[in-house]
Amino acid sequence: MYKTGMAQVNGTSLYYEMVGEGKPLVLVHGFPIDSRMWDKQVEFLSKNYQVIRFDMAGLGQSASHNNDYSILEDIKALLNYLHIERATFVGFSVGGNISLELAIHYPNLVESLIVASASLPGWSNVSEEKNVFQEQLNVLYQEGDLDKIVELMCKGWVAGPFRNVSDMDPEVCDHFTSMVRNSFLKERGKGKLLMPEKKTMEFLHEINVPTLIMESEYDFPEFREMAAFMDEHISDSRVVWIPGTAHMLNLENPELFHNHLMEFLNMSKEKG
């Protein structure tokens, strides 16, 4: 089964794609990229599952909001539009945090969770490497040099703080930079993003579904710390590591990423 379109929800148009048959898996991308980051996962997972990916408002092929909006409410409305009552969520980076928030605010929607390179807003123990990266990025934002912004983001998120872009697979870098460039060139709406009242870090203990936490070897150091924190506070969780990768671990080593996904999904199926 293959279906794609624009879902009219909450005053905007969200691009979505549904591929395959079986239990639903919803893929939630990071920022500032889009659902194309899941190309290889859709091809692999749709052999056994109904895979749903979408572009968040203002990214990829989705329109922006002109009124204040919530990503959680957009996802909830999209699932209702697609007649999906409950699903496993696979969230990457910011999308990982959003998936955790869904499990906290709308637990009836979440069958199980897979979060990769997930962030926790408000995390205070920021590494020196991340501070330097953010300072450099802020300068480039002020200068408005898109080429340099994209180049630095590739260095920070694809290569990571401990490797060089020249060491990376050019195909991975090109895929990432294409998504970033597209995001910065999109027209912005007038709406502001509304954040959940509950801070994710403080309510992880409320998550009671099976949760897989995936982390890399060469990402900014705090991502390992956040992964350990999540594992400590989510009752039914475990952490796996993807060696030889940085933040974009699903692009760098899709085979190992898929192996861990399937092992977790099969275990969850046995529990269910």
Cα→Cα distances 182→117, 128, 230, Å: 22, 29, 32
**Domain residue ranges of the chain, discontinuous segments joined by +:** 2-124+188-271, 128-185
pLDDT at 272: 56
Q: Would you give the DSSP letter of residue 224?
A: H
| Distance between start and end Cα atoms, the chain | 25
The pTM of the full predicted model, rounded to 2 decimals, is 0.95
What does the pLDDT read at residue 193? 82
pLDDT reported for residue 268 = 72
| Confidence at residue 194, expressed as pLDDT on a 0 to 100 scale | 80
**Block means of pLDDT (10 residues each) for the chain, length 272 residues?**
94 97 97 97 97 96 92 97 97 96 96 96 91 96 93 96 94 96 85 79 94 97 96 97 96 97 85 60
- In CATH terms, the fold of domain 2-124+188-271 is Rossmann fold (3.40.50)
